[in-house]
Every structure is written in structure tokens, then in C-alpha cells.
Amino acid sequence: MTQEDPSLKERKVISIGTVRDLTGLSERQIRYYEERKLIFPARSGSGIRKYSFSDVERLMEIANQMEEGVQTHEIRREWKKKEKENENWKKQMLKGQIQAHFKQNRN
């Protein structure tokens, strides 16, 4: 109904204590993963970290990787890789769209 929904999952509104409860991680761990550039909370005016549901999901993925013994460094590397692949995929899709468009016009 109210149209501001699209990004509910991305809104940074959850503070670290709640994230702790949601993920089962310690605050120390959550802050550390930020230090290692795995997670990027927003900050309230007074400097308090605010997380989104997306961030919470991400933290749970990180927790899984860590359990498997993967180092934060590796997690970050893999993440960036997938990010790049995703971008390329989007580019290809766009290309396809454009070609399809011209094809249609020629018929």
C-alpha cells in the first residue's frame, strides 16, 4: 500500500544488540567483520551502527563461511568476484535486450 516498500530489506534500522540476537554472533564478531570490510552498517547521527535485514542475512552467510574455516580475507575476495560476475551478467542481459529491440524493428 504505502509505496516505499521496495527497500524494506535494505533499510538500516537495526542496532547491534538486535543483530546479535538475530544472528547469534557476538557484538565483537559483528564489529570485526565490519573492520574486515565484509559488512557495512550505517551510522546514526550519534555514531550508533544501524543494520538492514540484508546485512543480517549476509552476516549469517559469513558465519557459515567462518565455520568452514574460511578466512575473512577469502570471504571478501570471493564476494568481490561474484559481484563482478554479476555486473557482467547484467551487461550481457542489457546487450541482449538492445539486440532484440533492433531485430524487432527490422522485421
Partner DNA sequence: CGTGTAAGGAATTCTGACACG
Q: State the binding partner of 99 from a second copy, DNA, none, CB within 5 to 8 A by kind.
A: none
64 makes contact with DNA (CB under 7 A):
no
16 makes contact with DNA (CB under 7 A):
yes
Phi, psi of 12 (to 5 degrees): -90, 95
54 makes contact with DNA (CB under 7 A):
no
79 makes contact with DNA (CB under 7 A):
no
Spell out where 3-105 has E strands.
42-43, 49-50
- C-alpha cell of residue 4: 516505499
Residue corresponding to grid cell 560476475? 85
- Rounded least distance, CB 44 to a second copy, Å: 8
- Rounded least distance, CB 48 to a second copy, Å: 9
- CA torsion, ordered 70, 71, 72, 73, to nearest 10 deg: -120
Strand partners, 42: 50
- Rounded least distance, CB 68 to a second copy, Å: 17
- C-alpha cell of residue 101: 529491440
- Using CB under 7 A as the criterion, which residues of the chain lie in contact with DNA when the complex forms? 15-18, 20, 26-29, 31-33, 36, 44-49, 66, 71-73
